[in-house]
Amino acid sequence: MRALILSDIHGNLEALQAVVAAAAGTYEQLWNLGDMVGYGASPNEVLDLLRPISSLNVRGNHDRVCCGLTSSIGFNPVARAAAQWTQAELTPEHLDWLRACPQGPLHPLQPGITCAHGSPLNEDHYILNMRDAWAPLQQMTTPLTFFGHTHVQGGFAQKEHEWQEFHPHYTTRNDANAWAIQLQPGVRHLINPGSVGQPRDSDWRAAFAIYDSDTQEIIFHRVPYDLTAAQGRILMAGLPERLAARLREGR
């Protein structure tokens, strides 16, 4: 079984379209780790594309705020403005669907796997370094957990007293690239597929990952997308200019 792992689309239709096209025919299930909306200017279009093809959906913190389940008071002013705009823009059907979207961690039918938005211990906690990863790796109920929230592609591994942090190494920042790791028996892994629509690892390209349960391989991917169109949608919607500028920076 091969699963397409997506996270942090954040209303970026052009990035999602590029990922779906690049991954076409290579997977049987799509696991979505949340933050489908917020920041980007195409929340309805993203959900129109994503909902029919996803097998598992985890609610993200921006999804929670943008559908009105919780307040945006904890967001910075730019994120708050985007969340308020998104809530007003979303159709009633999509608002209801987001409100019903389950909080992680969730478990797909494939055994031994957890899917979460943030830390599997707390959906709002970021796993940015080994200090953040220590407790989740110790307390995970499955040997493999996929998570998002940080918008940084890579992961963490632990076996007894050995710990490792890793990030893909790509040969270019303009074309499509792939980078694979082999999961080893007895090793616990936290894997972040990266952000589809709002990367923050200084690489502007859309990020995703493919998990192959038969070979126990994870392939990280980066693909270019129509950045200018995504930026134009943000500006035309009257959203903060910073949201358009940061797409080019990958920050």
Domains and CATH numbers, the chain: 2-249 (3.60.21.10)
Query: Is pLDDT at 161 greater than 90 in this prediction?
Result: no
Looking at residue 113, its pLDDT comes to 97
- Pairing mode, strands 154-159 and 144-146: unpaired
Query: Is pLDDT at 19 greater than 90 in this prediction?
Result: yes
> How far from 223 is each of 2, 3, 24, 70, 246, CA to CA, in Å?
19, 17, 13, 33, 17
Give the confidence band of 251 by pLDDT, cuts at 50, 70, 90.
confident
Looking at residue 63, its pLDDT comes to 98
Looking at residue 172, its pLDDT comes to 82
- CB neighbours of residue 103 within 10 Å: 15
Query: Is pLDDT at 104 greater than 90 in this prediction?
Result: yes
Average confidence (pLDDT) over 23-38: 97
Average confidence (pLDDT) over 60-77: 95
Three-state DSSP at 110 gives coil
pLDDT (tens digit, 9 = 90+) per residue, 192-243? 999 999 999 999 999 999 999 999 999 999 999 999 999 999 999 999 999 9
Q: Give percent above pLDDT 70 in the chain.
A: 100
Structure tokens at 195: 């952000």
- Of 59, 47, 36, 88, nearest to 239 (Cα)? 88
Mean pLDDT of the chain: 96
Tell me how far the alpha carbon of residue 136 is from its chain's centroid.
18
Looking at residue 197, its pLDDT comes to 98
Exposure pattern of 199-230 as b/e (b: 16+ CB <10 Å)?
bbbebbbbbbbbbbbeeeebbbbbbbbebeeb
Looking at residue 173, its pLDDT comes to 82
Please report where in the chains the tokens 């796997």 appear, as a residue. 113
Give the confidence band of 191 by pLDDT, cuts at 50, 70, 90.
very high
Q: Give percent above pLDDT 90 in the chain.
A: 95
Query: Is pLDDT at 188 greater than 90 in this prediction?
Result: yes
